[in-house]
C-alpha cells in the first residue's frame, strides 16, 4: 500500500506543514482510540470453524509431511495435536486416541502455516486515509470488510502469521483479540505508524512526523507506550531524527524494521542498528544509473546484511506492480475477485491516479522488478535472511492470496527452489519473531499452526493455493467452510457502494527525488 501511494499524494496533511521551515519536533495526529469496528468479533465467521475442546485430540492422518526441519519429508505419517501443541508425529497405522477428530490427509501435504511479514490490513484508519480518492467516499468506513472476515481471508489462504507494517489502535486490538481467543485469525505482530520526516510521504493519520533528534526519541517512546511491537522508520526521516529513534529503540529493546531513510542510507542505517529492511528495493532505490546494479556495492551490502544479522523482506510481487504501472502493458492480476472495490477503483489502469503516475514515472522505479529479482537472488545465495512479505494492499495484491504469488515469484524469478521458499515462509519467519527453535516446524512440542494442501508444493509451488484445511489455536477450518467464507467475502464486497476515483483538491504529486 505505502510503497506506491506514499509517492503519489499527501492526504490529510496537517496545517502546520504550510510553513515549510516550521517543522515541529514531533507531530502526531494518529488515532489513539480504536474504531467502532472493534466492538464485535466473529459474527461473520464463527460458524465456519470447528472448535476443538480442551484435552481432545486432532489427527491429520496419512499425510505427506514437510516438517521444515531441514529438507525432511515424512510420507504416510500422522500428526497428533492436543491443546494447540503437536503431541506426536507417527507412522500411519498406529492406534489413535478414542474420540479423536480425524482429518483424512491421504495424498495431501501437511506443513506449518505460512507467514506474511509485510501487510497492511484495510482497517478504518487506512480507509480514512484513502477515502479522499473516491467520490462520496466519506470516512471510507463503507469499504471496510468486517475484521473477522479479513482475518478469515488470511487463514483461508494458509497465512497463520501476519506482521502489520503501519499499526494503529484497530490492528493492536486485532492482535490482542486473537491472542485472547475472542477473534480467530493468524498470530499478529504490529508495527508502529510510519515514522517519517517532512514532507511526509503518506497521510498524517498514519504517521508520526519527526523534525529533530528529540522528536525521534519521542517517536520511539510513543511506540513503546502505545504497545506496538516494533518501530517503522520511513523514507523522509532525517538523519538526526533517525538517530533519536534508534536511541529510543536501543533503550527499550525494540527492533526498527522499515524503509531506509534517504538521508541516512542503507549502510549507515544497518550499522546504526536497523535490523529489518522492509523491501529488497530499498537496497538500490536511492541510487542512480549504474550504481543501482553495481556488483561491488551489492556484494558489500550483502556482506553487511550477513554480518549484522539484518533481515530482508523481499516483497518481490509489489515491484512487479511497479513495472506494470510505470511501463504499462497487459497485466492479469490473479486474485482480483477478492479485491476491495475501493482499491478496484483506485488501481484501475484507466483511473486518474495511475494515469498521472504514468505521465510522470518516478525514476526510483526504473527497472525495479529486474533489479529486485537480481538483488533477492544474490541475497539468497549469500545466506542472509530473506523473509516472505507482500505489502498488500498495494495495487492488485489481495490480502492472503498475495502470499501465494510472492512464493511463486521467488521460485520462478529469484532462484529459490520450493523448499527454500517454504522455509523462508515458516521456520525462518519463526526465528525472525524470536520463537523457540521448534516453532515453524512440525515436531513434537511445536505450536500447531498447520496447513494442509491438496497437492505437493515441492513439485509445484502453486499448490500452496490449494488449501484443504488450516488449524490455529483450537480452531479447524476445512475446505467446505473456506468455500462458504469466501462467498461471504464476495457478497460483502458486492454490497459496498460503487467506487469511482477522483483526485482530491489537496492532491500533490510527489517525486521522491524532489523531496
Burial annotation 144-167 (CB, 10 A radius, 16+ → b, else e): bbbbbbbbbbbbbbbbbbbbbbbb
Instruction: Report residue 364: phi and psi, to 5°.
Output: -65, -20
On whether the CB atoms of residues 259 and 293 are closer than 8 A, the answer is no
CATH for 46-113+449-488 is 2.30.40.10
Distance linking the first and last C-alpha atoms of the chain: 20
Q: Determine how many CB atoms are found less than 10 A away from the CB of residue 435.
A: 16
pTM of the model: 0.94
Residues whose CB falls within 8 Å of the CB of residue 389, separated by 6 or more in sequence, listed in order: 116, 117, 118, 119, 163, 165, 278, 313, 314, 315, 406
Start-end ranges of CATH 3.20.20.140 in the chain?
A: 2-44+114-439+489-514
Question: Whose grid coordinates read 495495487?
Answer: 395
Q: What is the C-alpha separation between 273 and 256, in angstroms, rounded?
A: 8
Q: What is the C-alpha separation between 511 and 515, in angstroms, rounded?
A: 7
Q: Give the H/E segment covering residue 372.
A: helix 368-382
DSSP string, 219-257: HHHHHHHTT-SEEEE-TT--HHHHHHHHHHHHHHT-EEE
- The tens place of each residue's pLDDT in the chain, 515 residues long, gives 444 444 444 344 444 444 445 789 999 999 999 999 998 778 899 999 999 999 999 999 999 999 999 899 999 999 999 999 999 999 999 999 999 999 999 999 999 999 999 999 999 999 999 988 888 889 999 999 999 999 999 999 999 999 999 999 999 999 999 999 999 999 999 999 999 999 999 899 999 999 999 999 999 999 999 999 999 999 999 999 999 999 999 999 999 999 999 999 999 999 999 999 999 999 998 898 899 999 999 999 999 999 999 999 999 999 988 888 887 767 778 899 999 999 999 888 888 878 877 887 777 788 889 999 999 999 999 999 999 999 998 889 999 999 999 999 999 999 999 999 999 999 999 999 999 999 999 999 999 999 999 999 999 999 999 999 999 999 999 999 999 999 999 999 999 999 888 765 544 433 333 33
Which SS3 state, helix, strand or coil, does residue 53 take? coil
On whether the CB atoms of residues 359 and 353 are closer than 8 A, the answer is no
> Max alpha carbon distance in the chain (Å)?
75
Give Cα 97 to chain centroid, integer Å: 38
Q: What is the C-alpha separation between 399 and 122, in angstroms, rounded?
A: 9
Instruction: Report residue 381: phi and psi, to 5°.
Output: -65, -25
On whether the CB atoms of residues 393 and 343 are closer than 8 A, the answer is yes
Question: Whose grid coordinates read 525494540?
Answer: 254
**How far apart, in Å, are the Cα atoms of 407 and each of 156, 231, 402, 418, 458?**
16, 26, 9, 8, 12
Q: What is the CA radius of gyration of the chain?
A: 22
Q: Which pLDDT belongs to residue 361?
A: 74
CATH architecture of 2-44+114-439+489-514: Alpha-Beta Barrel (3.20)
Q: Determine how many CB atoms are found less than 10 A away from the CB of residue 75.
A: 10
On whether the CB atoms of residues 77 and 94 are closer than 8 A, the answer is no
On whether the CB atoms of residues 154 and 186 are closer than 8 A, the answer is yes
Residues whose CB falls within 8 Å of the CB of residue 83, separated by 6 or more in sequence, listed in order: 54, 55, 474
On whether the CB atoms of residues 149 and 492 are closer than 8 A, the answer is yes
Q: Which pLDDT belongs to residue 509?
A: 38
Burial annotation 459-498 (CB, 10 A radius, 16+ → b, else e): eebbbbbbbbbbbbbbbbbbeebbeebbebbeeebeeeee
On whether the CB atoms of residues 4 and 351 are closer than 8 A, the answer is no
Amino acid at each position: 500500500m505505502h510503497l506506491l501511494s506514499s509517492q503519489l499524494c499527501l492526504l490529510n496533511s496537517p496545517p502546520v506543514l504550510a510553513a515549510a521551515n516550521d517543522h515541529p519536533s514531533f507531530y502526531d495526529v494518529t488515532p489513539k482510540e480504536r474504531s467502532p469496528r472493534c466492538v464485535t468479533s466473529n459474527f461473520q465467521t464463527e460458524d465456519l470453524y470447528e472448535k476443538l475442546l480442551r484435552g481432545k485430540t486432532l489427527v491429520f492422518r496419512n499425510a505427506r509431511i514437510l516438517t521444515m526441519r531441514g529438507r525432511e519429508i515424512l510420507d504416510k505419517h500422522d500428526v497428533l495435536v492436543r491443546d494447540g501443541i503437536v503431541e506426536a508425529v507417527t507412522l500411519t497405522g498406529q492406534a489413535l486416541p478414542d474420540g479423536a477428530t480425524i482429518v483424512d490427509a491421504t495424498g495431501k501435504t501437511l506443513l506449518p502455516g505460512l507467514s506474511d511479514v509485510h501487510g497492511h490490513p484495510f482497517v478504518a484508519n487506512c480507509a480514512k486515509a484513502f477515502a479522499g480518492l473516491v467520490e462520496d467516499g466519506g470516512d471510507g468506513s463503507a469499504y471496510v470488510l468486517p475484521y473477522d472476515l479479513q482475518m478469515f481471508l488470511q487463514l483461508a489462504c494458509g497465512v497463520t502469521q501476519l506482521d502489520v507494517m503501519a499499526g494503529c489502535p484497530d490492528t493492536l486490538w486485532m492482535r490482542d483479540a486473537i491472542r485472547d481467543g475472542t477473534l480467530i485469525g493468524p498470530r499478529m505482530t504490529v508495527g508502529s505508524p510510519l515514522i517519517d520526516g517532512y514532507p511526509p510521504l503518506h497521510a498524517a493519520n498514519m504517521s508520526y512526523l519527526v523534525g529533530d533528534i528529540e522528536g525521534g526519541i519521542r517517536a520511539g517512546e510513543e511506540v513503546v507506550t502505545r504497545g506496538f511491537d516494533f518501530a517503522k522508520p520511513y523514507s523522509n526521516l532525517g538523519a538526526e531524527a533517525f538517530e533519536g529513534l534508534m536511541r529510543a529503540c536501543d533503550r527499550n529493546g525494540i527492533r526498527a524494521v522499515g524503509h531506509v531513510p534517504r538521508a541516512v542510507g542503507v549502510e549507515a542505517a544497518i550499522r546504526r542498528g536497523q535490523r529489518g529492511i522492509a523491501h529488497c528495493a530499498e537496497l538500490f532505490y536511492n541510487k542512480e544509473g549504474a550504481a543501482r546494479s553495481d556488483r561491488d556495492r551489492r556484494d558489500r551490502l550483502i556482506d553487511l546484511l550477513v554480518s549484522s544479522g539484518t533481515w530482508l523482506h523481499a516483497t518481490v510481487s509489489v515491484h512487479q506492480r511497479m513495472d506494470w504501472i510505470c511501463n504499462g502493458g497487459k497485466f492479469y492480476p490473479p486474485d482480483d475477485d477478492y479485491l476491495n472495490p475501493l482499491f478496484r477503483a483506485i488501481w484501475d489502469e484507466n483511473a486518474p491516479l495511475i494515469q498521472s503516475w504514468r505521465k510522470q514515472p518516478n525514476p526510483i522505479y526504473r527497472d525495479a522488478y529486474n533489479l529486485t529479482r537480481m538483488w533477492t537472488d544474490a541475497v539468497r545465495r549469500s545466506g542472509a535472511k530473506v523473509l516472505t512479505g507482500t505489502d498488500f494492499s498495494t495495487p492488485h495484491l489481495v490480502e492472503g492470496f498475495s502470499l501465494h504469488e510472492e512464493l511463486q515469484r521467488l521460485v520462478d524469478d529469484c532462484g529459490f527452489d520450493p523448499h527454500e521458499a517454504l522455509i523462508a515462509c515458516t521456520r525462518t519467519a519463526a526465528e525472525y519473531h524470536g520463537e523457540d527453535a521448534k516453532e515453524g516446524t512440525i515436531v513434537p512440542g511445536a505450536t500447531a499452526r498447520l496447513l494442509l494442501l491438496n497437492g505437493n508444493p515441492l513439485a509445484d509451488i502453486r499448490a500452496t493455493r490449494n488449501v484443504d484445511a488450516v488449524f490455529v489455536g483450537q480452531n479447524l477450518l476445512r475446505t467446505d467452510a473456506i468455500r462458504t467464507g469466501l462467498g461471504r467475502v464476495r457478497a460483502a464486497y458486492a454490497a459496498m457502494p460503487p467506487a469511482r476515483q477522483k483526485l482530491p483538491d489537496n492532491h500533490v504529486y510527489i517525486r521522491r527525488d524532489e523531496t
